[in-house]
Amino acid sequence: MDWIFVATKTYAAEETAVWLAGTTARVAIFQNGVEHRERFTGVVAAEKMVPVVIDTPAERPTPDRVVQRGVIRMALSDDENGRALAALFEGIETEITLTGDFRSAAWNKLAINCAGVVCALVMAPNRVIAGAAIGGIVLGLVRECVAVARAEGAILPDDMPERVLRQQRGSSPDGINSLYGDRLARRPTEIDARNEVIVRLGEKHGIPTPLNAMAVALVEAQAAKDAEQGR
């Protein structure tokens, strides 16, 4: 085969890698976070990995139903692999950006994703972000993300926290992000890729990330409690 698309959850990367060992195909990694390559290093050759920032506002409220709230957007590196992948989607309703700064594109998406932990913590859809207090927490989570992103060499605008908050408040009030969806279904979560990575890399650079650290601790504690109760 010429291509393999990895569209699993980030927590399934280790299981997914078993299927990829020894492949000579190009591997497009459609996942959250900023560690697309790191998850498959040593399994897929570096020149065969094609990281993708994917933004598809879709939810699966039931196993047989998907609600898509907007167009599919992707960011790819502006190189041979990125252009080849983009060509596969010609004629399909997608918005594809070829960028010379994939790092910043990935951190831009993470700045949006990290705020979603609020809904997963209070177990409520987007409408909860309308409150002033919760809005302040969202701003704080994103500010921490931006500080770490810049230390990692990404370029994000100064008003990124405010942009994220406006976007969240402008989304459908009954919208459910994937982290909250996983919690509702009692599945594992992508908390490592969405918030804990900010804490880990913040520690590397000596940048405090107390809000993201607290969010990670609470989600993990809730998961442990659910497991103890057999849910």
Residues that are catalytic: 109
88 and 3 Cβ atoms separated by less than 8 Å: yes
Which residue carries 């010379």 as its tokens?
100
Measured CA to CA, the distance from residue 220 to residue 168 in angstroms comes to 24
